[in-house]
Structure 1
Amino acid sequence: MSSPKSVLFGFHAVTVRLKTHPGSIAEVHFDPARRDQRMRAFIERAREAGAKLVESGDERLTQLAGSPRHQGVVARVAALAQQHSLDDVLDAVESEKKGPLLVLVLDGVTDPHNLGACLRVADGAGAHAVVAPKDRAVGLNATVAKVASGAAETVPYLMVTNLARTLGELKERDIWVVGTSDRAERSIYDLDLTRPVALVLGAEGEGMRQLTARTCDELVRIPMAGAVESLNVSVASGVCLYEALRQRSR
């Protein structure tokens, strides 16, 4: 039986798959009306990877992608099997001595654009994994992959059955669990983030669930100097993750 096919669209998402798992690509559809340098370079890369190329008009590409924001590129791909658990990821990081563990935990992020942006930020800041609960999270789909610009292929995204229990397991591994809350007294900039840490953020509006907040070792806030009360979750993730990266880079 052949593997079920899904789609990726946009230059970044498809290019990363060509680079990391070229054998999983069934075919690449591209808009022949687009003849700029970026498209020419992309087609050359796809040919070098041995991908089957199919000329498709804008209407067909939009139909395949389920979105008009395909940039003239859509790939039909085999879904990649989940090859690791959270324990596997963390064990590999520790065994390869890739530095102190850095995990992003998202509680209640259901918008694929927000998840894609969070994955992109996590990749840029060097996070080792992104964790979310199965019952209150969006899964990986074409929109997430497009927004993530390839990070959906490089950052493990692990959906767990019981988030509070998973946070407890992280604490058993001596990973400091830090949640964000507008009501916290201490700022993210007051903490030493050079130690192994899991940064927990909730969706804008509702924030973290009460049980998630109670499970954290500490709650901190992101200072807000203007009129708005909170940041988009992907922006907040960037603030927290890059503060950890800044401290670890000193």
Structure 2
Amino acid sequence: ASVNAYTKESFSGIQIAKTFRREKKVYNDFIQVNNQSYKVNLKRAFLLNAIFPTLGLIQGFVTMLLILIGSNLVIEGFVGVGELVLFIQSINLLFFPLLVIASFWPMFQTGMAASERIFAIIDTLPLVVQNDSIEPSKLKGEIEFKNLSFGYDKAKLVFDNFSLKINPGESIALVGHTGAGKSSIAKLIARFYEFQGGDILVDGKSIKDYDLNEYRKHVGIIPQTPFLWADTVENNIKYGR
């Protein structure tokens, strides 16, 4: 449950994590939570798997002794046919441990199916393309959209041949109806999405040439929808540091 809760929280706050370059922290926290869950479930599985086979072995050993003693009694005439039938039925008790082990097979299949879904997400390749890995020491803040084409669906572009230049220190306001692409511009600058055509220049260089992790250290976004991690208020405030 703790792993599922943290995974859900991480996906909900992935934009915040990317904005403040905290992907590595999210990953390390997930590993820690996952390891704790793994250890607990490993102990639980060990106990469950040890109890039933142990009981089965004890029961089988006792049954075997009864079979040996009972068969001698049958041969010597001290036991009747009814006891012989009981002897045959007792043999079936030896299969109890195998039945217990087999009962865990559906759980194993469920775990394999769940792991396939998880690894399908983990193994997903990033869509953002990097042409180079320039590490900016400091950005002046000049941003230029040059003939930009972008759309969440390639068949329907949000921006087509869009151009805009923002000078360092300049404050601008983007005004438009819902869905016009105002938030998309900010997310494109932060490299959350890959554009289909044109380019975005920051201080005269294409944002595709910057190292993504180092570049985002110089970019800050305040999203419209607030999000808090399951942590203290202090740690949430210091999250970007």
What range is the shorter-chain TM-score in? Answer: under 0.3
Q: Which has the higher strand share?
A: 1
Query: Normalized against structure 1, the TM-score is what?
Result: 0.23
Larger RCO (CA under 8 A, 6+ residues apart) = 2
TM-score by length of 2: 0.23
The answer to which structure has the higher helix fraction is 2
